[in-house]
């Protein structure tokens, strides 16, 4: 009796991941089209509008790049943790707490001159994100507690913390009955560098380039990769795993927190519970699609930014913006399928041979 | 003075009733995740599967007028959507963390997409209390514990059944073996892939049922976007809190259900604490429990299935 099995190729197909991503995109658009037509929505109009309103003009390209920025930083945060085989599922919470810390900075020093306040708030965001990741990092380093669950749980705590601040201690007295936090100081905004693209896009790009260089060229990055791929080798080489684990989690949290600060000073004007809007979770998908490589993270983030901005635009023709979430998840699942095919080939074998 | 006491008595009864309803909701999803994780698969898609169950269960209940139909539809759709995780994580050996989170994004998105025409729709079916002879007439206990909807009794029955299957049957042995050591289970003649797919589908069905209960019960919610409100993550937390044991998970579900019930009722008890702060406690307690488990694990084995989260490829055995 014969059956089909997946046999691993000796060497993965070259250029496999970009192809897998494209295959995932096609898969997502096809399944999405089926879904839209079942719901009776005009498929071509929906896709056309999504494309035009995310990549079709300078104005909307600006919105896409701005949207891609927190996604790219969240993806970078996830990929930094992944170099040591760690999962930071808590970028969502770290973004929120980073933005909370930045907001705190703005509340304490509302009258500082713009550039100084901006730098202070962004630094605050980095520290805030790192602090939010410190607990899971310590627990993992000292006790081996799974960082997957601890970082995940702290997401929900951070979102509720923002809601609490919004309803109580930080409630804007001039916000009437609608609970909202006071807007951040005006002068702490990130200016535009091209069309409506804010400076944060450039800063985020620089951060990604620095990390790409750092992780591939520096001793620290080298040690991280050894520690991640073979803890035993690292131990022989005298690399302290505990300090590395904690350090990587702090760095990962700091980058995610930075995304929160950039979002607060870039696109948003005030902190609220929707500031992160799933960037942390989407960042995990972005990082996975980029195979945890910083350069790939930036590219996938722009694609996801376009899908999200396009998704918002179809509400006005009466189609749910949830289409964007569906497409993003389907891109991942499609790419997983295609990725497996690029590393494996389907073989027909005798049942006996395998069993 | 007397008035104040009767008022708080009502408040306490209301609190316990709500705690049991929320506890039921959490328990169904957490029981499903327990089965899935016992077979060695981490499924972080609970929130998404629950959302699918909530919207399809709402439509099924409202269209048929029967909350049982809602529950059934929710369970079936939850199981179907969970197969995406089964295909990716078991069939293709994808990373379980990524696949599960993508399932949550997919489930939440699909639920919003399907439900966009039903937001705020007043038509809905809902479960009423079961009128039990004698038991319902017992003071206090009758008004609180025995005022539960039939789904709470169903949840208890499913919990006992799960415990029995996992600990007393050869199927349960196969499930646990797949979770502790997939290669051993394979060598013993169990099909690890079939067991894991089945465990994922069971988890999906229960998460879907939990979502359907949410939109078919008296908690005052019909379908709206974000109706699951992070409760799927609490279910993931409960599995750890209850140390992967159906009985302990049930205790945790009632405890966490109490915190959910308390959130909107603090005023009745003159407690001057923000309900939002109270809503953080399930997540924080889970983190603390995880740390304590790991601290103890230096001397005794961890209660987590040893192979949890590890893909199994037969040819790489």
Cβ-defined contact of B280 to A160 (cutoff 8 Å): yes
- Report the gap between the CA of A152 and the closest CA in chain B (Å): 8
What is the C-alpha to C-alpha distance for residues A53 and A323, in angstroms, rounded to an integer? Answer: 14
Cβ-defined contact of A153 to B105 (cutoff 8 Å): no
Q: Given this model, what pLDDT does residue A354 score?
A: 46
What is the C-alpha to C-alpha distance for residues B170 and B172, in angstroms, rounded to an integer? Answer: 5
pTM confidence score: 0.93
b/e per residue, B71-90, with b = 16+ CB within 10 A? bbbbbbbbbbbbbbbbbbbb
Cβ-defined contact of A325 to B297 (cutoff 8 Å): no
DSSP label at residue B267: G
CA nearest to A169 within chain B: B274
Between residues B103 and A347, the one the model is more confident about:
B103
Model confidence band, residue B28 (pLDDT cutoffs 50, 70, 90) = very high
DSSP label at residue B160: H
Cβ-defined contact of B112 to A145 (cutoff 8 Å): no
Distances (CA, A) of A123 to A103, A117, A228, B154, B261: 11, 10, 28, 52, 39
Number of neighbours of residue A11 by Cβ within 10 angstroms: 7
Interface predicted TM-score (ipTM) = 0.92
How many residue pairs from chains A and B have C-beta atoms closer than 8 A? 130
Q: How is chain A split into domains, by residue range? A: 64-294
What is the C-alpha to C-alpha distance for residues B131 and B148, in angstroms, rounded to an integer? Answer: 9
Spell out which residues of chain A touch residue B41, defining contact as CB-CB under 8 Å: none
pLDDT tens readout for residues A178-235? 889 999 999 999 999 998 999 999 999 999 999 999 888 888 888 888 887 777 787 7
CA nearest to A289 within chain B: B98
Domains delineated in chain B = 2-301 (1.10.3470)
pLDDT tens readout for residues B123-141? 778 887 777 777 777 877 7
CA nearest to A278 within chain B: B105
DSSP label at residue B12: H
Torsional class of A238: left (φ above 0), alpha (ψ -120 to 50), beta (otherwise)? left
Cβ-defined contact of B276 to A163 (cutoff 8 Å): yes
- Report the gap between the CA of A143 and the closest CA in chain B (Å): 6
pLDDT tens readout for residues B273-302? 888 899 999 999 989 988 988 888 777 777
CA nearest to A148 within chain B: B97
């Amino acid at each position: 009796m014969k059956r089909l099995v997946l046999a691993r190729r000796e060497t993965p197909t070259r250029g496999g991941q970009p192809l897998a991503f494209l295959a995932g995109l096609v898969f997502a658009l096809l399944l999405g089209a089926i879904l839209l037509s079942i719901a009776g929505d005009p498929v071509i109009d929906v896709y056309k509008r999504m494309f035009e309103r995310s990549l079709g003009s300078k104005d909307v390209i600006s919105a896409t790049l701005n949207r891609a920025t927190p996604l790219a930083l969240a993806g970078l945060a996830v990929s930094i943790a992944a170099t040591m085989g760690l999962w930071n599922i808590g970028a969502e919470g770290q973004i929120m707490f980073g933005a909370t810390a930045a907001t705190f900075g703005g509340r304490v020093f509302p009258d500082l001159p713009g550039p100084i306040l901006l730098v202070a708030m962004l630094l605050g965001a980095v520290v805030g994100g790192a602090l939010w990741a410190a607990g899971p990092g310590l627990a993992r380093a000292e006790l081996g507690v799974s960082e997957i669950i601890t970082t995940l749980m702290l997401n929900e705590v951070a979102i509720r913390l923002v809601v609490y601040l919004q309803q109580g201690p930080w409630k804007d007295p001039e916000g009437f009955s609608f609970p909202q936090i006071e807007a951040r100081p005006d002068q702490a905004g990130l200016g535009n560098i091209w069309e409506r693209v804010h400076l944060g896009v450039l800063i985020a790009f620089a951060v990604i380039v620095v990390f790409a260089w750092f992780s591939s060229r520096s001793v620290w990055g080298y040690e991280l990769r050894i520690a991640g791929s073979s803890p035993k080798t690292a131990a022989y080489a005298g690399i302290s795993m505990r300090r590395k684990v904690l350090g990587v989690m702090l760095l990962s949290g700091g980058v995610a927190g930075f995304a929160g600060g950039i979002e607060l000073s870039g696109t948003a004007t005030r902190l609220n519970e929707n500031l992160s809007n799933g960037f942390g979770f989407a960042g995990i998908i972005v990082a996975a699609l980029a195979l945890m490589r910083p350069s790939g993270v930036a590219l996938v983030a722009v694609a996801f930014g376009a899908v999200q901005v396009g998704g918002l635009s179809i509400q006005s023709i009466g189609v749910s913006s949830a289409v964007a979430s569906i497409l993003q998840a389907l891109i991942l699942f499609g790419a997983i399928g295609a990725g497996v095919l690029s590393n494996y080939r389907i073989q027909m074998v005798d049942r006996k041979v395998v069993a | 003075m007397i008035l104040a006491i009767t008022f708080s008595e009502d408040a306490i009864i209301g609190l316990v009733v709500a705690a049991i309803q929320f506890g039921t909701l959490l328990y169904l999803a957490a029981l499903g995740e327990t089965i899935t994780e016992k077979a060695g698969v981490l499924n972080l898609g609970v929130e998404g599967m629950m959302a699918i169950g909530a919207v399809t269960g709402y439509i099924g209940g409202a269209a048929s007028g029967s909350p049982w139909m809602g529950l059934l539809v929710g369970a079936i759709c939850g199981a179907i959507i969970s197969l995406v995780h089964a295909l990716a994580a078991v069939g293709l050996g994808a990373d379980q963390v990524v696949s599960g989170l993508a399932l949550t994004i997919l489930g939440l998105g699909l639920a919003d997409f399907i439900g966009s025409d039903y937001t705020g729709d007043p038509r809905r079916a809902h479960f009423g209390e079961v009128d039990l002879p004698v038991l319902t007439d017992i003071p206090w206990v009758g008004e609180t514990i025995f005022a539960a909807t039939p789904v709470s009794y169903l949840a208890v029955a499913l919990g006992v059944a799960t415990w029995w299957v996992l600990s007393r049957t050869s199927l349960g042995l196969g499930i646990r073996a797949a979770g502790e050591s997939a290669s051993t289970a394979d060598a013993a003649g169990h099909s690890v892939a079939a067991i894991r797919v089945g465990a994922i589908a069971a988890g999906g069905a229960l998460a879907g049922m939990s979502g359907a209960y949410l939109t078919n019960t008296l908690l005052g919610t019909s379908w709206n976007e974000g109706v699951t409100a992070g409760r799927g993550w609490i279910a993931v937390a409960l599995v750890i809190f209850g140390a992967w044991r159906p009985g302990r998970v049930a205790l945790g579900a009632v405890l966490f259900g109490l915190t959910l019930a308390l959130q909107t009722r603090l005023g009745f008890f003159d407690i001057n604490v923000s309900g939002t702060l109270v809503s953080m406690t399930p997540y924080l307690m889970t983190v603390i429990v995880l740390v304590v488990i790991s601290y103890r694990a230096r001397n005794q084995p961890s209660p987590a299935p040893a192979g949890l989260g590890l893909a199994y490829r037969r040819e790489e055995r």
